[in-house]
């Protein structure tokens, strides 16, 4: 087989979304993953498209807004290829904090909320179910000419003026450009930040159709699909290396915080808990663009707490860069050379 134009290392939401965008533009693409596609952090997320989370660095806003705007077309493209629609699960977020436009009584929206003296305002943000997205995105990729090679790791690479020689666990490969979408496992200055979460079945009397978010805890209801009726409660933010152990004490603490906010959750059935590793840079912004001093090696990584949100915009602007176009956005704040 001829060498692909683009070799993407990492088949999470970022790698596969970029592969789809490059394939749509007619490029030849190979994607490698050490394990199975979409089985790491991208399936562990809550799925909030949290454009206005006050914990986001301000420089992220234009990329976050672009991605939210691209989301409907991104989901349509996936549906066109694989035949299944990934629905938005929610279309509003009740966020705590003093802001202009605070709701006089947030219980008009969530009757069972106990605001505990906090103000809440309403954000027009969506959420998706990352497990639904994972299944549909992977099915969409399988309908294209993208060569997805699971159980195949990128081990090392060497660039020549014309090509990149990749040593993979399945033998040597070649491509004109390699893109690092390896999440927390990247050799770039990216560190894993662990998050633990749990899922409960909401009691029948709990009427929750929007995300509720405070700096302490968030509650994300699933309203559509096989997991409808669940609430996802998250999340811890830890420096624990590559450890994925789920600790009962942390899960109980998260659950207690959620119950303080919505006391009706005390009657919820526990369903499951899990953890994932967010890929974090030192400034909380992604690394998007050519790696410094390494020609033909491009980074699309470091999406930290927002990789599900940022996948469509990342795919779009990185595909523009790779195809020699001017990206829709100024990527200076995300330049990998800043480290
Ligand atoms: C608890 C939790 C809650 C979250 N909630 C949200 C949320 O509500 N909204 C949101 O937008 N984001 C959220 N996130 C963040 C989001 O999940 C991540 O930003 C996103 O999944 C990162 O995607 P990725 O494709 O970069 O990484 P990953 O999904 O981890 O994919 C990287 C892939 O690279 C592969 N790989 C690694 N090394 C190699 C190698 N050498 N060769 C080949 N392949 C390799 C891995 O096997 C993996 O499949 C959350 C994360 C966590 C942990």
153 Cβ partners below 8 Å, 6+ apart?
32, 34, 168, 169
Instruction: Answer yes or no: is pLDDT of 301 > 80.
Output: yes
Answer yes or no: do 2 and 75 share one domain: yes
Q: Would you say 189 and 286 are in contact if contact means Cβ atoms under 8 Å apart?
A: no
Q: Look at residues 232, 247, 280 and tell me which one is the last residue of a structural domain.
A: 280
The residue whose C-alpha atom lies closest to atom 16 belonging to ligand 1 is 307
- In testing the pocket of ligand 1, which one of 232, 275, 307, 310 has its CB within 8 Å of the most ligand atoms? 307
Strands (E), 1-141: 6-9, 29-32, 93-96, 120-123
CATH label of the domain that carries residue 57? 3.50.50.60
- Report pLDDT digits (tens) over 154-185: 999 998 888 999 999 999 999 999 999 999 99
How many structural domains are present in the chain?
2
- In testing the pocket of ligand 1, which one of 21, 156, 183 has its CB within 8 Å of the most ligand atoms? 183
- Report pLDDT digits (tens) over 268-291: 999 999 999 999 999 999 999 999
Q: What DSSP state is assigned to residue 56? A: S
- Cα–Cα distance, 238 to 184 (Å, whole number): 13
pLDDT (0 to 100) of residue 91 = 97
- Report pLDDT digits (tens) over 99-144: 666 787 889 899 999 999 899 999 999 999 999 999 999 999 999 9
Q: Would you say 6 and 179 are in contact if contact means Cβ atoms under 8 Å apart?
A: yes
- In testing the pocket of ligand 1, which one of 17, 34, 41 has its CB within 8 Å of the most ligand atoms? 41
The finding on whether 223 has its CB within 6 A of some atom of ligand 1 is no
Instruction: Answer yes or no: is pLDDT of 4 > 80.
Output: no
Q: What is the mean pLDDT of residues 83-100?
A: 91
Instruction: Answer yes or no: is pLDDT of 1 > 60.
Output: no
With 0-12 CB in 10 A as exposed, 13-18 as middle and 19+ as buried, what is 85? middle
Answer yes or no: do 195 and 249 share one domain: yes
- Cα–Cα distance, 30 to 43 (Å, whole number): 21
Range of the domain at 111: 91-124+191-280
Q: What is the mean pLDDT of residues 212-227?
A: 96
With 0-12 CB in 10 A as exposed, 13-18 as middle and 19+ as buried, what is 103? middle
pLDDT (0 to 100) of residue 259 = 98
pLDDT (0 to 100) of residue 192 = 98
- Cα–Cα distance, 210 to 226 (Å, whole number): 18
Answer yes or no: do 201 and 326 share one domain: no
Instruction: Answer yes or no: is pLDDT of 2 > 70.
Output: no
Could you please report the per-residue DSSP string of 200-241? Answer: EEPPTT----SEEE-SS-EEEE--SSTTTTEEEEE---B--T
DSSP alpha helices (H): ranges in 46-190?
A: 61-82, 130-142
Q: What is the mean pLDDT of residues 320-338?
A: 97
Å from CA of 290 to ligand 1 middle: 20
Its pTM surpasses 0.85:
yes
* Residue 293, phi then psi, degrees to nearest 5: 60, 20
Q: Look at residues 258, 280, 302 and tell me which one is the last residue of a structural domain.
A: 280
Answer yes or no: do 120 and 147 share one domain: no
The finding on whether 6 has its CB within 6 A of some atom of ligand 1 is no
Ligand 1 atom with least separation from CA of 186? 38
Determine the angle formed by the axes of helices 13-24 and 130-142, rounding to 10 degrees: 40
- Cα–Cα distance, 262 to 256 (Å, whole number): 10
Answer yes or no: do 198 and 71 share one domain: no
User: Which has more confidence, 70 or 99?
Assistant: 70
98 pLDDT band, cuts 50/70/90, is confident
- State what percent of residues in the chain have pLDDT above 90: 92
The residue whose C-alpha atom lies closest to atom 10 belonging to ligand 1 is 306
Q: What is the mean pLDDT of residues 305-312?
A: 98
The finding on whether 46 has its CB within 6 A of some atom of ligand 1 is yes
Answer yes or no: do 139 and 111 share one domain: no
The finding on whether 40 has its CB within 6 A of some atom of ligand 1 is yes
The finding on whether 234 has its CB within 6 A of some atom of ligand 1 is yes
pLDDT (0 to 100) of residue 293 = 85
Answer yes or no: do 35 and 77 share one domain: yes
């Amino acid at each position: 087989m001829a060498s692909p134009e683009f070799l993407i290392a990492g088949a999470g939401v970022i790698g596969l979304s970029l592969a789809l965008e490059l394939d749509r533009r007619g490029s030849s693409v190979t994607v490698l993953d050490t394990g199975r596609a979409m089985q790491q952090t991208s399936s562990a997320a809550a799925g909030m498209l949290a454009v206005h989370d006050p914990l986001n660095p301000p420089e992220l806003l234009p990329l976050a807004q672009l991605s939210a705007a691209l989301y409907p077309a991104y989901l349509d493209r996936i549906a066109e290829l694989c035949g299944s629609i990934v629905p938005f699960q929610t279309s509003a977020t009740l966020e705590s904090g003093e802001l202009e436009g605070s709701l006089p009584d947030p219980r008009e929206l969530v009757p069972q909320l106990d605001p505990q003296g906090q103000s809440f305002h309403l954000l027009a943000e969506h959420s998706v179910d990352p497990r639904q997205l994972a299944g549909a995105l992977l099915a969409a990729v399988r309908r294209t000419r993208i060569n997805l090679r699971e159980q195949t790791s990128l081990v090392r690479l060497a660039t020549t003026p014309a090509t990149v020689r990749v040593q993979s666990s399945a033998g040597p490969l070649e491509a004109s450009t390699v893109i690092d979408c390896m999440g927390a496992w990247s050799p770039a200055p990216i560190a894993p930040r662990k998050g633990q979460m749990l899922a409960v079945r909401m009691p029948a009397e709990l009427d929750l159709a929007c995300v509720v978010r405070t700096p302490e805890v968030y509650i994300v209801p699933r309203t559509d699909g096989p997991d409808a009726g669940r609430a996802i409660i998250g999340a811890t933010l830890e420096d624990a290396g590559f450890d994925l152990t789920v600790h009962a004490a942390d899960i109980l603490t998260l659950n207690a915080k959620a119950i303080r906010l919505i006391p009706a959750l005390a009657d919820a059935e526990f369903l499951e808990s899990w953890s994932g590793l967010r890929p974090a840079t030192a400034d909380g912004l992604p690394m998007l663009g050519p790696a410094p001093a390494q020609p033909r090696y491009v980074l699309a990584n470091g999406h930290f707490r927002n990789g599900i949100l940022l996948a469509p915009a990342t795919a779009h602007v990185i595909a523009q860069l790779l195809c020699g176009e001017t990206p829709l956005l100024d990527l200076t704040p995300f330049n990998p050379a800043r480290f």
